[in-house]
Amino acid sequence: MKNYKLMCELDLTPRQSEAGMGFKLQNIADSPITVQYFMPFADFELRAFTDEGQPIPVIQPAYDTGVQPVSVTLAAGETIRLETPIRLQFDPNMAPSGGDDPTLWTLQHAPTPVRLQVTMQFGDLELAPCETRWEP
């Protein structure tokens, strides 16, 4: 078992036919940890699964934008919220290139309850995947 120093939680904010995303990062180590990333934050892998465990394709349009480096030091036990412009929608007919909005990722499936799993890494700091359930 890995010795993770950060724990994450995936927060969804449902809005009509889509959901906004955000993350809570908590330092679970006994000492401060510095986390470095770029804003807007979109450097993560998202996977989706039906209740039966079947993977659902996630379509991510090309996202080319300027970024700003960010460095945050979290004290032992401290939690921060990490915002992302990425939003999710369901569309079983979405083309593999995605739509016109690069911040709108598509689950290529009819709306159904899903388990979402996000994997992210900050330099050499690995996190256990964060998961949540979305019931549109």
The string of DSSP letters for 56-123 reads E-EE--------EEEEEEEPTT-EEEEEEEEEEEE-TT--TT--S-TTEEEESSSS--EEEEEE-EET
- The Cα 89–Cα 83 span in angstroms is 18
pLDDT given at position 124 = 81
One of 1.20.1070, 2.60.40, 3.40.1620, 3.10.20 is the CATH number of 6-134, namely 2.60.40
- Render pLDDT for 53-94 as a digit per residue (tens, 0 to 9): 999 999 999 998 999 999 999 999 999 999 999 999 999 999
Where do the domains of the chain lie? Answer: 6-134
User: Do 83 and 121 meet the contact criterion of CB atoms below 8 Å apart?
Assistant: no
Residue type, 35: V
- The Cα 127–Cα 5 span in angstroms is 7
Tell me which of 128 and 44 has the higher pLDDT: 44
pTM for the model stands at 0.90
Tell me which of 92 and 126 has the higher pLDDT: 92
pLDDT given at position 22 = 96
